[in-house]
Structure 1
Amino acid sequence: MAKHWMRDCLAIVVGGWLVTGAGLVFAQATEAGPQAASSTGAGASAPNIRPRPLVRVPRVIGRLQAQELGLVINTADPYSVEVGDYYRRVRRIPETHVLRIELPVQARLSTVDLERLRRRIDEQFDAGVQALALAWTQPYAVECQSITSAVTLGFDPQLCNQPCGRRAASPLFNSATSAPFKDLGLRPSMLLASSDTERARKLIDRGAASDHTLGLVGAAPVQAHFMTTADTLRSVRSVLFPPAGLQRRIGLDNHLGEGDLPLDTTRVVLVQTGVAQFQGADAIDWVPGALADHLTSFGGQLDRSAGQSTVLDWLDAGVTASYGTVSEPCNHLQKFPHPQILLLHYLQGSTALEAYWKSVAWPQQGLFVGEPLAAPFARQ
């Protein structure tokens, strides 16, 4: 099943970094300096670097703007009120694009409350609102579905009966749109979640500070680390990692490493790993706008009831956006962010919300969390 999906989506190319009207693809032959595969964990040796299948992504024109974002605030939640108002002011969200609604403050929202929320969103926002920021930490799910996918795609009544089964493909997956509601009739959403209001303010500030800061001519490159861990079931994405090495023209240095997290890092923009629990993410030198996620069963359970590290651990460490699942997804590649597609869309200047949503083929169980408008590779 996963191999069939990969075969349908991958395109092998030869040569350097390709930027054409048709799309983008990583270089097959990179400038592999001495540090190209040095992101290894303690006691691990660098893996053999081999040619990998390369993924073509479409060329995207434009990106989501603040005036196209709808902000939803839960008036029953003091965190939501404070964080939502701070976000509105920092990103200058128009007041007409703010929906204030009273919702239960609990881990999982009922389907009745979900439909009420979706109805109010449709009533409040006009066709100019292309995406949504949900300013709370709980609820993070609707039964076994994530709140972000339930708000965006609607509730999937079959999901809880077959949580490890195939799901309908997201129309947003690897799409070229920068106006998803206009083009697809969908408003992708992201949760403005954090462990507390102080950390939420820092998250918002990181996102705003990241805009237009990376990919500049003459600037020091940033690093992306793709980790293969001792947990083979959670390291299935290693077959999708991009080639290691320096992509000088875009200021990006890809590292393939072994271990849970990279060590001795500077200017890190992306980490992807596969592990149930991790420690030491706060020691990584994250740049504003950095993304990170770990493939595990319950990384999206924000009440931390499953005993696994969650997306909140990434955000607390200094990451700007992340992704995790709220119910058992099994390790289907389609249910987690595709390494190359995530990075290639982000490198084009897409926002964190757009890059993450476009990287997941089956997002029904996946929670998108962070500062939606962060766009470090966007041009002014």
Structure 2
Amino acid sequence: MRRPLLRFLLAAALLWQAAAHAQFVPAASGLLPAQLGLVINDDEPNSVEIGELYRKARGIPADNVVHVRIAGRPRKLDPERFHELKAQIDAKLGPRVQAVLMVWTAPYAVDCNSITSAYTMGFDAEVCAKPCGPSKPNPYFNAATRLPFAAHGMRLSMLMPTESVEGAKALIERGKVSGFSTPAASAYYLSTSQAARNSRAAFFPRAGQIPSRKLTIQRLSADYIEDRKDIMVYQTGMAKVDKLDTLQFLPGALADHLTSYGGDLLGNGQMSSLRWLEAGATATYGTVTEPCNYWQKFPQPSVLLKHYLEGATAIEAYWRSVAWPAQGVFVGEPLAAPYRR
């Protein structure tokens, strides 16, 4: 077992122990609109329209907007084309920009990597040769820094889907509304009948109340929940999650399922991570190629919850929670922050 894996296993165990007794305190501040770059695909009308909607809604500075051209909406880019695209984006962004939102659904992969990991951490060719092996460690995992580009030379990245302009408007609105008040909510963690997909269950936060955040943590042995109206977090392990149409996600809600191809956003195999956003979640995560069930390749529940409850934005909390993100794509509204005060 490689030394980085040992370090992550030890760190995760300690974090899980700490999360059960954590006293969450507000972060001094998190990512601001002026620190977010916006990348628009001029070859896709929905990207142009949604990108402008988001720029106005969040007050993104005009200097932070980058226009590119990606014809044909390919699901995957080859590494050479991706490196050209990344260089084009980076050339337009100043040092204050700490994160990037790519306004499109596809492309979402670069060979076997996700496009968000390839952009933020660099393309990892080794994981393509051994997709079920460890991948490049994330230096931002459980990090306290507010300036990932300044501290680690990495700009966080996320996709905003463009399949529907109306759907994107609703997503943008959920992200904005999430900052207005802290509702009474629940975080649901499910151990399911698909045992191989329960590799994160050991890291679920302890069930109980967090009164300072008006949050109830619920750990369940079930394949799905239904008719719940108070969801702020929903993490499970299933190839397909049922009863999503019966649920109500609160503004800023995070939701993801540990399965092999959730990040194959337009695929016809396992449930696409887009289904979470369509159901009302605000941000999600999924892997674009077979990762096997390493917990390090998926959002670590106690780390994700810790940072979100301390006031981090969705993009910060999600990126801090994945130890080996090479194969995983981050999707949603990056600036949602229901616990920032």
**TM-score > 0.5, shorter chain as reference:** yes
TM class by shorter-chain length? over 0.9
TM-score, L = length of structure 2: 0.94
1:69 aligns with 2:31: no
Q: State the identity as a percent.
A: 43
RMSD over equivalenced CA pairs, Å = 2.0
Corresponding letter in the other structure for 1:228: S
Question: Which secondary structure does the structure 2 equivalent of 1:291 belong to?
Answer: strand
Which one of 58, 63, 70 corresponds to residue 91 of structure 1?
Answer: 58
8 Å CA contact 2:105–2:161 kept in 1: the answer is: yes
Deviates more, 1:314-323 or 1:189-198: 189-198
Which one of 135, 148, 151 corresponds to residue 119 of structure 2?
Answer: 151
1:253 aligns with 2:216: yes
Deviation at 1:26, TM superposition (A): 3.1
More helix by share: 2
In structure 2, relative to structure 1, the CA distance for the partners of 1:6 and 1:266 (3 Å cut) is same
Deviation at 1:59, TM superposition (A): 8.2
Distance in 1, matches of 2:99 and 2:217, equals 30
Distance in 2, matches of 1:286 and 1:329, equals 28
1:30-75 CA-partner distances (Å, limit 9, x unpaired): xxxxxxxxxxxxxxxxxxxxxxxx8x99985320000110000011
TM-score, L = length of structure 1: 0.85
Distance in 2, matches of 1:27 and 1:227, equals 17
Which one of 301, 305, 310 corresponds to residue 339 of structure 1?
Answer: 301
1:196-240 CA-partner distances (Å, limit 9, x unpaired): 2211111111111111422xxxxx521000001000000111111
Q: Which runs of 5 or more structure 2 residues have no equivalent in the other structure? A: none
Give the total of aligned pairs: 337
Which one of 4, 7, 11 corresponds to residue 10 of structure 2?
Answer: 7
In structure 2, relative to structure 1, the CA distance for the partners of 1:299 and 1:57 (3 Å cut) is farther
1:159-205 CA-partner distances (Å, limit 9, x unpaired): 21111111121111000011111111110100001542211111111
1:189-204 mapped onto 2 (5 Å cutoff) = 189-204=157-172
In structure 2, relative to structure 1, the CA distance for the partners of 1:141 and 1:274 (3 Å cut) is same
1:222-262 CA-partner distances (Å, limit 9, x unpaired): 10000010000001111110110111122110001122222
Corresponding letter in the other structure for 2:313: T
1:23-172 mapped onto 2 (5 Å cutoff) = 25-28=18-21, 60-104=27-71, 105-172=73-140
1:184 aligns with 2:152: yes
Greater Rg over alpha carbons, structure: 1
1:351 aligns with 2:310: no
Deviation at 1:7, TM superposition (A): 2.2
Task: Show structure 1 runs of 4+ deviating over 6 A.
Answer: 56-59
Deviation at 1:11, TM superposition (A): 2.4
Distance in 2, matches of 1:7 and 1:112, equals 37
Distance in 2, matches of 1:120 and 1:333, equals 34
Question: Which secondary structure does the structure 1 equivalent of 2:50 belong to?
Answer: helix
Distance in 2, matches of 1:275 and 1:4, equals 28
Q: Which runs of 5 or more structure 1 residues have no equivalent in the other structure? A: 15-24, 29-53, 215-219
